[in-house]
Chain A
Amino acid sequence: MRFALLASVVAASWTGTSYAQRGILTQPKEEPAPPPAPVVAMPVLIKDAGAVYPAQAIKDKVRETVVVVLVLELDARGAVKNATVETPAGHGFDEAAIEAASKLEFVPAKKGGVPIASKIRHKYEFAPPASRIVGRVATEPRDKPLAGAAVTVTAEDGTAFKTTAASDGSFHIDGVPAGNYKVTIGAQGYAAQSYEQPLDPGEEATIDVRLEREAPPPPPPAEGEDIEEVQVHGQRPPREVTKRTLEQRELQRIPGTNGDALRAIQNLPGVARPPGLAGMLIVRGAAPNETSTYVDGTVVPMIYHFGGLSSVIPTEMLDKIDFYPGNFSSMYGRVTGAIVDVGVHDPVVKDDRKIHGLAQVDLIDARVVAQGPIGNTGWNFAIAGRRSYVDLWLKPALEATGAGVTTAPVYYDYQAMVQRSWDHGKQDFRLFFFGSDDRLNILIKSVNGSDPGVGGNITFGTSFYRLQARYIGKFSEDTEFRLTAAFGKDAVDFSIGDNFFVVTSWPITGRAELSQRIAPGVRNNFGFDMYDAPYTASVRMPPLPTPGQPPAGPFGSQPPLQTTASANISSPALYDEVELTPFRGTRIVPGVRLDYSSDTRAWDVQPRLVVRQEISSEFPKTTLKGGVGRFTQPPQPQETNSVFGIPGLHSSVANHYGFGIEQEVTRQIDFSTEAFYRQYDQLVVQQVGNTGSGYAYGLETLVRYKPDAHFFGFLAYTLSRSVRRDSPTDPERLFAYDQTHILTAVGSYRLGGGWEVGARFRLISGSMQTPQMYGFYDATIGAYMPLSAYPQNGVRDPMFHQLDVRIDKTWNYSWGRFGMYLDIQNIYNQANVEGISYNYNSTLSTHATGLPILPSLGVRAEL
């Protein structure tokens, strides 16, 4: 600590009279003959050990410089006889100053050469002890030291302290005054990370950071190369230093997914296995329509092509996948289940500034991607497309069954993007056009005798496209504005016999968010989220079944209902979320969301809170996390339609509760677990009203070995239960999407020479079934109508287990890279039960089994 000696002042130099009156100076008795006035000499400080910065002040986090003025009484020898504080400062400063003053030594004041007692002022200035920042910079996820990484610590007044990481990744910055700082750590080719760091006097803050690759990867890296990655976050917030991630290598190499990143989501904790080939996301026991999917903040109607064969955005264009199984941010709404937000990366421009591309072909589809700069315009582009050729083999198969095929099942998707950054990357604009189309048209001539309505001409088509514009402006270190707007078209065209369902909508969506740091440790995010969709619908279908109620007869036996509507769905929302970091390692995020729905004509207020607390900030890091919130979902149009549903419904409500822990075990192994509970109310029961309720609870656990040079893998286990009730008088029943145990083990090992082998094993509780028995015969239509057991979902299929294996081989050439893979699903050909198959009158039954062993071979070239 530093202290300073204030120029001492002899009393006479103030006012001799006053000192005399108060006896501050002791003067010799007067002599009869007035001699010349004696010379008065000031006391001179000769020894000062200094004052110790008080511990109380450190404890009280006093960050300002404090001055304590003492009045010292010195004797004729120069010793301090007494010291008093002129203006108390508290926090231990007064005591520290007095203690220091007692050890001061002076040459005494003199008058006429004679030492005399004196009284002086003495000042101690207490500056807060300097702080220190130390830490280590490494690569994520391999924890490789990142030498040369730039570390900048910026004070609120703009004062900056800079250093670079040493060869072992370590760094330190000394002499940093106490205060609030923004620490920014970056390195060439890696995404910089910034976060706020309060520093108390004398504190040594340790910051260990792992930086992730800045740009999305060129596809599967050759052995020994750096690994690019797509992130799948188990939960918000991405502003945290550590994240749960799955690398692109993992996403592309998980067996059984054909390298499809979005299908890899189905391996994460909390995600159930969809029945059969259904491409559905079932999260924490919720229905698929209770999970919403976004592409960079723009909601899309579907994420998978039919049958779940492939996702609608190719993995190569993905930057990250934010997956929120529950307790999601206030920026998301309109569903009570979960959120998947697929982030698409900007066009990748490599150092050679040439256009690069890749092509991949397998038994299901083929896709191409090209991206690079548009000359020297500053603009970059990416373009991609995919088409299936299921029709090539399925059309003959269908025709062999006697079906006439006009359009065999086919799907395609397309993406095009232009993007530019300016103002040193502080501003960014991007246009992204993407879409998807699935369709088939067949004529079933062999009518199913048990359900004659399912026959004849069947058409099925789903398509959507979006033109999305995104602007990001970082106006200052404290202020960021993000605007994403999109418009497009959704279309469903389905017909079977004389029933049809044709709906076309033109959704306009927008999200504007202002993120403003308003005080140290306080950042506010305010946003407007709009969904507006004019639509036309022409529907002719049998009445939709009421849950828990056996049907009135085979499909098509009831007079169909018919409606033609042209209306508008309008759902504006406002949200506000505050990120509080009052202490290091603590993050509290309260928020509220207000959703309006034109269907309910009401506002839904949804308060939410997420808390994260680091118990240990050093490796191995331990973090506790928890959340509670209210989530609402407006009824769907068919539920409020005056023909098919009931007008005047309310939004259904789910309250989410979650608590968990994240623990680093080793540098490579993370462990996390979370318990959740959901309570559902006001669930819409078709044709009845908001009479449903339910709950779901469970425990999700993930042990993950992060990819290193040879291996990656994870073990995910979910224990859960999902229960619904259609009305207070109905019995509880297990929900159709209840799966008690979900165990997934994934591992992949690089053998060398471009070879990599991996396996995925799944052990999952069977799906729920409602047994049926011999009942009635519909003599008008000619089909038996079984009796359904009550309550429904009373039995469960046997346990599902399956082993998938994947083998990759990659060759590197001067022009690029070439690879092949063999992805074998169900390698031991387990006859897993997907349901119950009955004979025509339900007197006999057997288990219907799923996919047999299914190999898929693919090739891939990257230029």
Chain B
Amino acid sequence: MQTCCAPRSLHTRTWVALLLACFVAVVSGACGTADFDPQSVVDSVRLFAVSADKPYANPGDTVTLTALSTDARASKPLPLTLYWIPVVCVNPPQDLYYACFAPDAGSGAGTAQLIPTVPLTDADAGGGDATKPGGALGQIPTGVDVSSLLPQGPTFSFRMPDDAIQSHQGGTQYGLAIVFNIACAGRVRFAPLDPSAGPQQVPILCTDEAGNKLEPRDYVIGVSRVYSYAGQTNENPVINGVTLEGAPVDPVAGITLDHCTAAKNADCTAVKIDVDVPDSSWELNPNSGSENLHEQIWADYYSDRGHLENDARLLFDTRQGRIDDSGNNFRPFKDPGDGDLWIVVHDNRGGVAWTVVPVHIK
């Protein structure tokens, strides 16, 4: 979300000053805020996370991605399917994920390396058309239903190229593989690029059967990053369990709460939810040099059965370590029903883990 004082293209000193000014303004209530539903309220197609079994993969490793998604729409004309774009985009310029779709992508030095993972033999190759996504993506015809050509399901595997590790800005050596997927309650089509539009375009469409583009509540286009550093590894965080008011929660039985009877959500009785992540997940970040900083770890919360006080809570700080009061307040909806509480734990080096807790509102 862009705040009222969001920085634009500024030089560092100005950027820092503006950020602080923005912070002061925001926390002191200087800027007006909108009463939007927070990210944690789930009432649409959502893609929560994609985890890699090897967040830092070695060149030549096979990496398996697993996605966590849901369909919380009240009405579901078409079912949700998770599609994967079968092209791995390696080392796009300046790590810009949208550069993978550039017309010249995959065509030489300084562009993204596009590696197909499955043959796109049924595609009507449109090579040479500058309005089409570049390289291997350019082989996919635009405007036609390609759903059947795309891998589907919660997992997707690819091989990190042997030459993935390359020099990036400032001489930093690493490899970056970007994989796109789309959680779509419809059919997938590719869209032509508009040459007069800016560099950031969306060439992937989620449409109904007739080819009409669906609303944002019906799809999410995901971007997943997997890095490769020579001699470095990273483990996904570990979730030992979830606690409710300090007590462990049975992962199968889940949480059972009375529905809220108060007029306002804020007046509903809150329960404290927390997630137990062991100290061993707080890994040292070897790239922090002499600072010897550790990872930053936080938990994203989502639910379709209640309101969470915060979208995300800090679990471990890079410098201060474990945060003592990392829990989140959960207030059930006014209507009874069954649903879920999704808790996704991230570290700032691409590590992801999650747990899904059933929620029963009486």
Contact = CB atoms under 8 A, between A and B. Distances in A.
Interface of A: 275-280, 287-289, 301-302, 306-308, 394, 397-398, 401-403, 409, 440, 443-453, 455-458, 460, 462, 492, 494-495, 497-498, 500-501, 540-541, 543-550, 552-553, 556-564, 636, 638-639, 642-644, 686-687, 736, 770, 772, 774-782, 784-785, 787-793, 831, 834-841, 843-851
Contact of B97 (A279, A287, A497, A553): A553
A444 B313 CA distance: 9
Contacts of B1: 448, 450-451, 837-840
A306 B348 contact: no
B16 A777 contact: no
Interface string B292-304: 0111101010000
Contacts of B310: 402, 446-447, 449
A543 B169 contact: yes
B27 A397 contact: yes
Contacts of B280: none
11 contacts: A278-B21, A307-B20, A444-B314, A445-B314, A447-B310, A492-B13, A540-B288, A559-B168, A790-B200, A792-B8, A840-B39
A775 B24 contact: no
Nearest to B92: A552
Contacts of A450: 1, 39, 311
Contact of A834 (B5, B296, B300, B314): B5
B50 A780 contact: yes
A181 to B, nearest CB: 50
Contacts of B230: none
B281 interface: no
B216 A557 contact: no
Given A409-B24, A449-B39, A562-B287, A498 B296 contact: yes
B47 interface: yes
Given A446-B310, A545-B9, A844 B94 contact: no
A732 to B, nearest CB: 14
B311 A840 contact: yes
A446 B313 contact: yes
Nearest to A768: B8
A548 B288 CA distance: 30
Contact of B30 (A455, A548, A561, A851): A851
A776 B317 contact: no
B345 to A, nearest CB: 10
A540 B12 CA distance: 12
Contacts of B47: 777, 779
Given A449-B312, A549-B199, A560-B287, A837 B34 contact: yes
Given A776-B223, A777-B47, A788 B6 contact: no
A764 to B, nearest CB: 16
A279 B200 contact: no
B31 A456 contact: no
Interface of B: 1-6, 8-14, 16-18, 20-25, 27-34, 36-40, 47-50, 52, 67, 94-98, 168-172, 174, 181, 197-202, 216, 220-225, 227, 285, 287-289, 291, 293-296, 298, 300, 310-314, 317-320, 323, 325-326, 344, 346, 348, 350, 352
Nearest to A541: B12
B124 to A, nearest CB: 26
B123 to A, nearest CB: 23
A449 B311 contact: yes
In the A-B complex, list the 6 residue pairs whose CB atoms are closest, starting with the nearest: A790-B198, A449-B311, A848-B4, A849-B32, A643-B170, A840-B39
A644 B312 contact: no
A837 B312 contact: no
A829 B279 CA distance: 50
B355 to A, nearest CB: 14
B235 to A, nearest CB: 15
Given A277-B21, A849-B4, A849-B32, A561 B169 contact: yes
Contacts of A791: 198
A282 to B, nearest CB: 11
B20 A788 contact: no
A276 B300 contact: no
B18 A781 contact: no
Nearest to B98: A550
A456 B317 contact: yes
Contact of A277 (B3, B5, B6): B5
B263 to A, nearest CB: 23
B222 A307 contact: no
Contacts of B197: 790
Contacts of B52: 780
Contacts of A831: 32
Contacts of B298: 447, 452, 455
Contacts of A564: 289
Nearest to A797: B4
Given A289-B13, A850-B30, A779 B67 contact: yes
A306 B19 CA distance: 10
Contacts of B296: 455-456, 497-498
Contacts of A643: 169-171
A835 B39 CA distance: 20
A784 B225 CA distance: 14
A401 B314 CA distance: 14
A776 B27 contact: no
A287 B7 CA distance: 13
Nearest to B68: A779
A455 B314 contact: yes
A837 B20 contact: no
B5 A278 contact: yes
B40 A636 contact: no
Contacts of A790: 197-200
Contact of B326 (A445, A558, A638, A844): A445
